[in-house]
A and B are shown apart, each in its own frame.
Chain A
């Protein structure tokens, strides 16, 4: 089966993140073998990536957009989220204190990227001064691409 690709370009505004989730939901439900629980995980990951993309434009007085591209393959679903903000280096994000440390409550932000990493099978961040691209992959079966359902 050839890859099926759907692209959605949303204004970089908070109210459009739900639309990106809706697209993920529709495509994952109709074209792949992902169970509902994994679709929920993917929706959170895409929501986090879109939120970061929108925040990358914070303070920039422009009408920018965020590109969400979904590619359904026979054994996995790939989602790319791209912005043209100022970019960031995910390896430089501060670690949160342990949850038992009272200082943990000072950190209301910064949970999005750890959530993406925990919820999806593969994630890559490519960032430069010209923007950030997040590539997320969910395999249909066990996260390795082996033994997929219906192969």
Chain B
């Protein structure tokens, strides 16, 4: 199972585009990539979930951990997601109130 993690720069934000399935197997790579970005001094991060086919609570845990880490560095992490099946897990767990979730990368980097 492949997990794609591509980073681009937009408007001073690091945009991490995630592709594939995020579960207990792939989540550690996702977590490591976020930690690397913070270590590189990237404290404004947008995680683009539009290419994600599957995400469970292990993926949510990575995002919560990433947000906590960034806030401790006076940074922030926001999300791009329009897929109802992915948004649903954020809604059920109340995490729509924790993360800023945008419709597009353009909207996320403009905020």
Contacts of A17 in B (CB 8 A): 23-25
| Bound CA span A43–B95, Å | 20
**Cβ A18 vs Cβ B60 within 8 A:** no
| Bound CA span A22–B92, Å | 23
User: Does residue B98 face the partner (Cβ distance < 8 Å to A)?
Assistant: yes
Given contacts A54-B24, A99-B95, A114-B92, contact A18 B56 (CB under 8 A): no
Given contacts A17-B25, A99-B94, A118-B92, contact A112 B56 (CB under 8 A): yes
List residues of A (40-73) whose CB comes within 8 Å of B's CBs: 40-41, 43-44, 47-48, 50-51, 54-55
User: Does residue A15 face the partner (Cβ distance < 8 Å to B)?
Assistant: yes
Interface size of A by Cβ–Cβ distance < 8 Å? 31
Chain B at the A interface: mostly helix, strand, loop or mixed?
A: helix
B residues whose Cβ falls under 8 Å from a Cβ of A? 1, 21, 23-25, 54, 56-58, 60-62, 64-65, 67-68, 71, 84-85, 88-89, 92-95, 97-98
Contacts of A105 in B (CB 8 A): 64, 67-68, 71, 98
User: Does residue A115 face the partner (Cβ distance < 8 Å to B)?
Assistant: yes
Contacts of A14 in B (CB 8 A): 23-25
CB distance from B94 to the nearest CB of A (A): 4
A residues whose Cβ falls under 8 Å from a Cβ of B? 14-15, 17-18, 21, 37, 40-41, 43-44, 47-48, 50-51, 54-55, 98-100, 104-109, 111-112, 114-115, 118-119
CB distance from A42 to the nearest CB of B (A): 12
| Bound CA span A125–B84, Å | 28
Q: Which of A14, A43, A106 has the most CB of B within 10 A?
A: A14
Looking at the complex, which one of A18, A21, A48, A99 makes contact with B57 (CB distance below 8 Å)?
Answer: A48
**Cβ A99 vs Cβ B61 within 8 A:** no
**Cβ A48 vs Cβ B98 within 8 A:** no
Contacts of A18 in B (CB 8 A): 1, 21, 23, 25
Contacts of A115 in B (CB 8 A): 56-57, 89, 92-93
Given contacts A105-B71, A106-B68, contact A111 B23 (CB under 8 A): no
| Bound CA span A98–B93, Å | 10
CB distance from B111 to the nearest CB of A (A): 20
